[in-house]
Structure 1
Amino acid sequence: MPVSAMAAWYPHGTVIAPHRHRRAQLLYAIEGVMTIESATGSWVVPPTRGVWLEPSVEHSVKMSGDVKMRTVFVEPGAAAHLPSRSCVVEVHSLLRELILSAINVPLDYATGSRDDHLMCLLLAELNAMPLLPLYLPWPSDIRLRSVCQMVIATPDDNRTVGAWAKTLEVSEKTFYRWFQRETGVNFGAWRQQARLLLALQRIAHGEKIIAVAMDHGYTSQSAFTAMFKRHFGVAPSAFYS
């Protein structure tokens, strides 16, 4: 059938090893936060959001908190306007209810049945999913990846671009152009995005905003909140509401 769905439950810290699917996939968690990683980047997926993975993309999944995952698989070519690239999407209330209903639909539902109509509506709503800025591109060069891994490990490290360039024994200008070419964004924007996505995982566990801000390189809660609102459109305290 063109659309199918399933449910799974994973405890905190579970890692699903790299794998791929022939079909496109929407990964969604009604509880917990998932981090999906591929060779070209990573996506942080909190509740109310999902990640759309194009067919045959190799990816791994890491669980933060106990995760109740719901997955929708879509045959290639099932609809004309599905995202052509992997991305994070908003799961609004109607789409959420359709996903929760779809997991109870058998794989061999009959054409023209109620189950068929439900899955067709689900497919229509997948066509209209709003895309969200929750993607972190990764460079392919191993030296730049090592810098990115250090940023992820110590997000409060405020070293300048020049200091990072020095660790790779290149000029600041060379580092800047190199990073931009590999990721499509400059290093400052990449670090800001990495910090915000890491912060989302902490906020999802109910940690205090001031502690999250300080641990991610911000000098104050207000500075972090202002950056968060510019990026996501809402304050950190309202993101999961």
Structure 2
Amino acid sequence: MGFASPREGSRALDLSAHECSEWPVTGVAESYPAGHVVPSHHHGRAHLLYATEGVMRVQASSGQWLVPPTAAVWLRPNVEHRLVMHTPVRVYGIFVGADAAAGLSLMDGVLHVSALLKTLIAELAQPIAGRCDSRREALLSALFLEELGGQRPLPFHLPWPVDGTVQQVCEALVNDPAHGFSADDWAASLAMSAKTFHRHFRKGTGMTFGRWRQQLRLMSSITTLLGGAPITQVALDSGYESHSAYAAAFKKHFGTPPSRFLSTAYRA
């Protein structure tokens, strides 16, 4: 099954050429507006989703992830998944044959994308019809698989609730990570007690409201950070009271301070 294209009136793209390709690695690229949803689908091949710009949420049967432009999501063959675009997004979908994917010790989840891997993704997403140099294709595919296998997993997992009430809160926070409502404020707005709200939120996400919101803020801040905004401004826009509070939380979650993350992202 193909994924829905806004240029085709949200009809599924025809990906049969990729599913049946003689090449072990092929790819496509598509742009989506903010708010666009690609319905649940799956592919017979393993699948790498990489957005060069914007933030998307990948909801799969094996997990859910909020993905910034520095990272990609890897899904094994036949894993059901759905895409939600929180901003305008340019997405590359790279398909890897089951035999080639079997040689990679990768589980479903978010991976770092190096500068070399970015270049290979863009090259492999060229139309299949224009790819006729078998030696070059074999080399590109081999180098892509080698580089992909060396990418490190990233802690970008964000549990997403099924419960509609908790979903409303999560959607509001994704759209405005710095939203000032406390758990008590959200409870009041939903006409429930704070205790009931906390119980619903933990049941829906497996996390406390405070921890979930902090994780969302940190993950969402990466787009602004990479956009060149001063770290202090990123901190304030993300709902933190100071540069130091944001930097400490960022380092605790990602294992590196935002300044070093930036230098690594531009060097990678």
TM-score (norm 1): 0.77
The answer as to whether partners of 1:156 and 1:217 remain within 8 angstroms in 2 is yes
The answer as to whether partners of 2:68 and 2:220 remain within 8 angstroms in 1 is no
Letter in 1 for 2:169: V
CA-CA distance at 1:105 after TM superposition? 8.8
Tell me, yes or no, if structure 1 residue 46 matches structure 2 residue 66.
Answer: no
The answer as to whether partners of 1:45 and 1:88 remain within 8 angstroms in 2 is no
Tell me, yes or no, if structure 1 residue 220 matches structure 2 residue 246.
Answer: no
TM-score (norm 2): 0.70
- 1:99 pairs with 97, 111, 121, which one? 121
Name the counterpart of 2:48: 26
- Structure in which a larger fraction of residues adopt helix: 2
Tell me, yes or no, if structure 1 residue 36 matches structure 2 residue 57.
Answer: yes
CA distance in 2, matches of 1:204, 1:51: 19
Q: Equivalent residue of 2:106, what SS?
A: coil
Name the counterpart of 1:73: 95
Cα deviation 1:55-113 (Å, max 9, x = unaligned): 3433235385774x44311234531544343x2101224433443443459578798x4
Name the counterpart of 1:233: 255
Cα deviation 1:196-241 (Å, max 9, x = unaligned): 1222222232233323322222111221122122222333344232
Name the counterpart of 1:191: 213
The answer as to whether partners of 2:250 and 2:257 remain within 8 angstroms in 1 is yes
Distance 1:32 1:166, change over 3 A: same
Distance 1:132 1:105, change over 3 A: same
Cα deviation 1:109-155 (Å, max 9, x = unaligned): 798x4532442342344334311012322100001111212323343
Identity of counterpart residues, as a percentage? 33
Name the counterpart of 1:59: 82
- Structure in which a larger fraction of residues adopt strand: 1
Q: Equivalent residue of 2:158, what SS?
A: strand
The answer as to whether partners of 1:210 and 1:220 remain within 8 angstroms in 2 is yes
Work out the number of aligned pairs and report it. 235
CA distance in 2, matches of 1:204, 1:94: 18
Greater relative contact order (Cα < 8 A, sep 6+) = 1
Distance 1:231 1:99, change over 3 A: same
Gaps of 5+ in 2: 1-21
Q: Higher mean Cα deviation, 175-184 or 164-173?
A: 164-173
Query: 1:164-203 maps to which residues of 2 (within 5 A)?
Result: 164-203=186-225
Distance 1:51 1:45, change over 3 A: farther
CA-CA distance at 1:165 after TM superposition? 3.4
CA distance in 2, matches of 1:74, 1:7: 12
CA-CA distance at 1:171 after TM superposition? 4.4
Cα deviation 1:137-188 (Å, max 9, x = unaligned): 2100001111212323343334433443344444444433432232222211
Distance 1:171 1:52, change over 3 A: same
CA distance in 2, matches of 1:65, 1:138: 21
CA distance in 1, matches of 2:57, 2:217: 16
Name the counterpart of 2:27: 6
CA distance in 2, matches of 1:210, 1:103: 37
CA distance in 1, matches of 2:121, 2:174: 32
CA distance in 1, matches of 2:203, 2:88: 35
Q: Equivalent residue of 1:189, what SS?
A: helix
The answer as to whether partners of 1:91 and 1:129 remain within 8 angstroms in 2 is yes
Name the counterpart of 2:163: 141
